[in-house]
Amino acid sequence: MQSFSIVSSHQLLASERSTMPSLQEVAANRRDVEQCKIAFVGIISQILYAKHGFPSTCFQLVKSDHCHKSLQDVFSKSRGIAHFRSKYLEDSRVNVFLRRSSNPGVTKFLRILETDILPLIGTDDLAEFRLTFEESQGQGSTGLKEYFNVICKDFPNGKVDFDVWRAATGHRNLNVTGSGLLGLGVYLSRLNEWKAPARWSMSMRPKVRLDALAGLWIYDVTKPENSNTSLSQQKHYGLERAAHVKYVTYIAHFTIC
């Protein structure tokens, strides 16, 4: 004979309450994820600033000890930077960050980030994000020069560590790999070329197949693989880690109110 038991509604509610996160835990998780998103955009901002991906006025200097309400709050903090200066990347008191502006390229870029990329941060769905830079080779043609990979390592509760790798030709081992956004900034400031690329692009690799993204940009999973092969076959190719940006380091830079 099969046995069964009756559980009262009070017992069920008590059981559900014991497994459900508290309001404080939910708020802490949202805060963790928001900080991860801010740090991710901070990494991308520094790379694009160092490579002149947008005009200098599309970037801003955000104080490291400032308290932010959200990523949207950071985007709208202050005025644009008048000139490109490598010293800003080495200054522990500030962070170089993209800002909302009338520049159509920045508007589209931020829309893609917010719609397609940032929702994957803190959900263990984004494996890596890549910025690829090309240089002019004359007569209107371009060639692959370098790329930066941002590798995501997810932990429970939405916390993420980021590894930033650079692959390039004309490679130099800068020997300044550090931790945190400041370490990345120091690395970028020591690069031997500070000029705008002929063209740059972005791509990403999710951990699961996403057949349809909700935003403007559909990724091409073959693009990173092709660029790996193309660049690694060129002379003076090198690959090195530019920085290890750990959660415990960037929460000190981006405090959520």
Inform me whether the pLDDT recorded for 45 exceeds 90: yes
Residue pLDDT, tens place only, 97-156 = 999 888 999 998 998 888 888 888 877 788 888 898 887 766 655 677 888 999 888 776
pLDDT at position 54: 93
- Mean pLDDT for the stretch of residues 66-73: 73
Quote the distance between the C-alpha of residue 86 and its chain's center.
Answer: 20
pTM above 0.85, yes or no: no
Crossing angle between the packed helical segments 23-50 and 180-189, to the nearest 10 degrees? 10
Residue pLDDT, tens place only, 106-122 = 998 998 888 888 888 87
pLDDT at position 49: 94
Compute CA distances 176 → 15, 190, 220, 226, whole Å.
52, 8, 32, 28
CATH number of 23-256: 3.30.900
Residue 149, both tokens? 């990979």
- Return the minimum-mean-pLDDT range out of 49-53, 94-98, 182-186, 244-248: 244-248
Residue pLDDT, tens place only, 156-207 = 666 788 999 998 877 565 666 567 888 899 899 888 666 777 788 888 887 7
Compute CA distances 253 → 41, 42, 62, 151, whole Å.
13, 10, 10, 20
Rounded to a whole number of angstroms, the distance between the first and last alpha carbons of the chain is 59
